[in-house]
Every structure is written in C-alpha cells, then in structure tokens.
Amino acid sequence: MIQDLGELTGPVLIFGGPYSNAEATLAIKEEARRLSIPPDHIICTGDVVAYCANPDETTTIIREWKIPVVMGNCEESVANQAPDCGCGFTEGSSCSLLSVGWYAFANQQISATNRQWMQTLPSAIDFSLHGINFRTVHGSPRQINEFVFKSTPTAIKNDQLIATEKDVIIGGHCGLPFGESLPQGYWLNAGVIGMPANDGTTQCWYLVLTPDQSSICAEWHRLAYPYRKTQTAMRQCLLTESYYDALSSGLWPSLDVLPAYEKSQQGYPLQLEPMTIKKR
C-alpha cells in the first residue's frame, strides 16, 4: 500500500529510526514544535522499534502524534510476530546475533493496540512539494530491508528512481544520512534519531525540506537529546549490551552491514551540506 499525501506546502520534516528511544522521539517532537511544522508535514521512514528500552512508549508517542509513518522491517516483523526483526542481516553475523535480544524484548512489550497500528502502515509515502514528486520508503522501492548507502553505486539508485517515476526517493533503514544527485533526480536519507550515526558523537539526525521560489533546500540537522536517560531505561531492562554503549560512544557495535567506505568513516563526525533540489 502506498499512501499519497498530495501536494504539501511549507517545510517538511523527515526522520527515521526512533528505535524504541522515547527520549529521542520526544526531542524530535519538540524540534517540530519549535520549527512550527505540523504533524501532516512530518514523515517517519520507519523502524519505530528496535535497540532501546521503550518500544511500546515510543510507538504510542508516534501513533498519537498522527504523523505519516512508513512501515519499517521492524514494524512488519512485530506486526506479524515474526521470529526475527527482518533487518536483512547475514545469518550468524554480529548484527544478527545482537538483534536476538532487543527484538525479543520489543516483540514482547508491544501492546495489542500498537501491534494493530503497525499492521496498517503503508509500504511507501508519496508527496509533492513545489511540483517535485517524492517517494518515501524504508529500505528501497523494491525491498523493505535493502541497505542503500552513500557509497551504493549511483546506477543502482538511478535505476530504482526511474522505476518509481518520481523525482526524489527518500530512504531509511541504513541508519546514515546522505544526499546524492542522480542523473534522473535525487536520493536522500534523513538518518535516524534513535542511535548515533557511527560518527563518534552522541547526536542523531533529521532532514528538513524547505521550498524556495524555484527549488527545494534539503538540509540535515543534528538532534541532541538526553541520551543518559535512554541508557538508564536500557539498564533497568537489562539491555546493556553494545547498543547501550553506542549511545554514549557514538560508535556502532558492529560494522557488518557497512560497505568499505562507510566502515572507513567510523568515528569521524559527519558534515552534511545543504542540497538544492530542482525539477529535472
């Protein structure tokens, strides 16, 4: 199912991966209020639940906020009570082994109301801004858990963009923000708010699209939040392995899913320049 929001006006805020991090979710909600961006102009790219300690609370915050949300692989799995998170990790890899604990916890904690809500989420969200057409997905237009990174070949991204017949794809899933100009349009990733971007900082990321007279400015912003409160909640739930430390170190516990370029960037604070989006 694809949800179509139609033509939007004014700024649009995009974020991904709340990851059961209630404190970060409250922080992005406060950012939206500060920026005067209403809920119908805010999109979450999915994975509301994952590594942290408050899957049900985080889901409730997002659901009651009434913002459009793309179904992430974690929502798909929890909604269907699947045996694993469906993240696309290689079997036996560190990421796969680490997922066993947090997924079982999240799946157990989710209320029937929130599980039912997850079942209703769309696989993609379309909207237009300034006559430019966007498709928002979780992994990619062809697969919910496909990892698409900055270093993913341009030809792959461009072919998928052409297939959507849109001007811009906004993806999630990979956890790292980036923007790329393609031969036929653009591929953007807002980043995630529930876990640092493996760049050695405690801050997370979101994206704001602001229309100008003849273009759109895509601008990435860091999000600070009281991460030690999130760690306290994780410690109380005995979720103290690896991802607990990542909240304060800013470094991911496993690099299994990362291509060589992204691995080489671990610990280097990200710097993302604004991009100008124009109709091609």
Characterize the bridge pairing of strands 204-211 and 12-15: antiparallel
Average confidence score pLDDT of the chain? 93
Q: How far apart are CA 221 and CA 193, in angstroms?
A: 11
In this prediction, residue 214 carries a pLDDT of 84
Q: How far apart are CA 84 and CA 74, in angstroms?
A: 9
Q: Where are the alpha helices (DSSP H) in 173-249?
A: 227-236, 243-249
For the stretch 165-204, pLDDT in tens is 999 999 999 999 999 999 999 999 999 999 999 999 999 9
For the stretch 103-123, pLDDT in tens is 888 989 999 999 999 999 999
pLDDT at residue 159 is higher than 90 = yes
More confident residue, 101 or 104: 104
pLDDT at residue 102 is higher than 90 = no
Topology adopted by domain 2-277: Purple Acid Phosphatase; chain A, domain 2 (3.60.21)
Sequence-distant (6+) residues with CB within 8 A of 203 are 196, 222, 223, 224, 250
In this prediction, residue 89 carries a pLDDT of 57
For the stretch 214-226, pLDDT in tens is 899 999 999 999 9
- Percentage of the chain exceeding pLDDT 90: 82
pLDDT at residue 133 is higher than 90 = yes
For the stretch 41-93, pLDDT in tens is 999 999 999 999 999 999 999 999 999 999 999 999 898 887 676 665 566 55
187 half-sphere exposure, CB direction, 13 A CA radius: 29
Q: pTM (2 decimals)?
A: 0.95
Is residue 117 packed enough to be buried (19+ CB in 10 Å), middle (13-18) or exposed (0-12)?
A: buried
